[in-house]
Amino acid sequence: MMLTCDPADSMAAGADLEPKRRTVFVGLLPYCAWLLLASVVTALPLIVRVQGAEAQGQLAEVQRLSQEAERLAAAGQSAEAVPLVQRALALGEEALGPEHPAVAVSLVNLAVAYRAQGKYPDAEMLHRRALAIRQKAFGPQHPTVASSLNDLAELYRAQGRYSEAEPLYQRALAIGKTALGPEHPGVAVSLNNLALLYRAQGRYSEAEPLHQRALAIGETALGPEHPAVAVSLNNLALLYRAQGRYSEAEPLHQRALAIGETALGPEHPAVAVSLNNLALLYRAQGRYSEAEPLYRRALAIGEKALGAEHPYVATSLNNLAGLYVAQGKYAEAEPLYRRALVAAEKALGPEHPNLAVSLEGLAAVLRKTDRNAEAEQMQDRATLINAKRAQTSPTR
């Protein structure tokens, strides 16, 4: 869990629930995981030989706890993952010392779990500590330092702290170019991240060449049918959609979907993301009859692959509900919003920012159907959640 891409956090910003962060890293996670963990994996045998059986047992338990926590996080159970990662962190510190690079891995994992719960200050503290450990252990130009810079920048971007995120992304990009070479897939990740930051700020002319460069690197280094290429295609298409360039966006989304289906299989969660993206494009053009089956298929994939109460499923429910609202189909939208609210609350907790999306959508449906008292209750709760989030995020 290097560069965060948890579905819980990926689609919380606005009525469209555009899957920005989810889209960034699908297909690139295996590379990112290798990038961050490589130094740790090679170092562990030496540590075990030097420190003996007790350390070996502790490190084996760290690995077991981390794997179980990753499984829980992938299932959308971030709250259940937290105590496991906390225990792994404590054992790692005891066996290796608080400044060992392997400890930084547990720090990042715990930060990712906290971010999934909307605990941004806690996540920031852990990311900063991991960054300091890596800079001290490997030097300021090491790829793992770039990974930590990206992690911290992603956290800032999630909070709208764009001016703080930008120099971190730029530094990560510079490190990647120097340490890995300008044509390395890791550089494409940094280019995509920086481009997404620019898109969030409406700096489209700056974002486009970065997305195009990331796509070119992926096609050359990994091949035109690699899942990472689908990620870059989706990102570029989302940029075009944001500008109303629908005819340019559609073939990119369609190609990304085809790559995912071929490379990963038609039931993979990444395919659901591509389906959602294409459906969002159709919805933006009023092509509701084309959008609905895509949303439904994305929802079905999510339920089968991730479980009915996964945060991504809640997002898919919100998306389909939003489509129905756009058509005035309030009776169809309401139960979907209610399902999404229950799923998100169970997986993420009652004060997570993602809940505000479902609450606001449900409030709108209730107002449209003349149930103003309940609508106000939902809206008040959403306002409170948003206010609490704003308190944890400095002025942009």
Residues 151-167: tens digit of each pLDDT: 999 999 988 899 999 99
- The 3-state secondary structure of 113-169, one letter per residue: HHHHCCCHHHHHHHHHHHHHHHHHHHCCCCHHHHHHHHHHHHHHHHCCCHHHHHHHH
User: Using an 8 Å Cβ cutoff, are 73 and 108 in contact?
Assistant: no
pLDDT recorded at residue 53:
66
pTM above 0.75, yes or no: yes
Domains of the chain in sequence order? 1-180 (1.25.40.10), 200-300 (1.25.40.10), 307-396 (1.25.40.10)
* Model confidence at 393: pLDDT above 90: no
Task: Give the model's confidence band at 118: pLDDT under 50 very low, under 70 low, under 90 confident, else very high.
Answer: confident
List of residues 6+ apart from 219 with CB closer than 8 A: 229
Residue 205 burial by Cβ neighbours in a 10 Å radius (0-12, 13-18, 19+): exposed
Question: How high is the pLDDT of residue 50?
Answer: 45
Structure tokens at 40: 């740790």
Angstrom distance (rounded) from CA 343 to CA 326: 23
Query: Each residue of 305-319: pLDDT tens digit?
Result: 888 988 899 999 999
Residue 313 is predicted with a pLDDT of: 93
| DSSP string for residues in 293-361 | HHHHHHHHHHHHHH-TTSHHHHHHHHHHHHHHHHTT-HHHHHHHHHHHHHHHHHHH-TT-HHHHHHHHH
Q: What are phi and psi of 250, to 5 degrees?
A: -60, -50
- Please give the pLDDT value at position 51: 54
Around Cβ 368, how many Cβ atoms within 10 Å?
A: 14
CB 42 within 8 A of CB 71: no
For the stretch 36-78, pLDDT in tens is: 333 333 334 434 444 566 777 888 888 898 888 888 877 777 7
**pLDDT per residue as tens digits for the range 238-289:** 999 999 999 999 999 999 999 999 999 999 999 999 999 999 999 999 999 9
Q: Quickly state the pLDDT bin for 215 (edges 50, 70, 90).
A: very high
- Angle at CA 58, nearest 5°, toward 52 and 64? 135
Q: Provide the 8-state DSSP code for 99.
A: T
| CA gap 192, 40 in Å, rounded | 26
Please state the rounded mean pLDDT for residues 181-200.
95
DSSP string, 79-106: HHHHHHHHHHHHHHHHHH-TT-HHHHHH
Residue 379 is predicted with a pLDDT of 95
| Percent of all residues in the chain with a pLDDT value above 70, rounded to a whole number | 85
Please give the average per-residue pLDDT across 92-102, as a whole number: 91
| CA–CA distance, 292 with 313 (Å, rounded to integer) | 15
Task: Provide mean pLDDT across the span 114-127.
Answer: 90
pLDDT of 148 higher than 70: yes
Query: Residue 165 in contact with residue 193, Cβ under 8 Å?
Result: no
Q: Other CB atoms closer than 10 Å to residue 181's CB: what's the count?
A: 11
Average pLDDT, whole number, for the chain?
85
Rounded distance between C-alpha atoms, residue 261 and residue 275, angstroms: 10
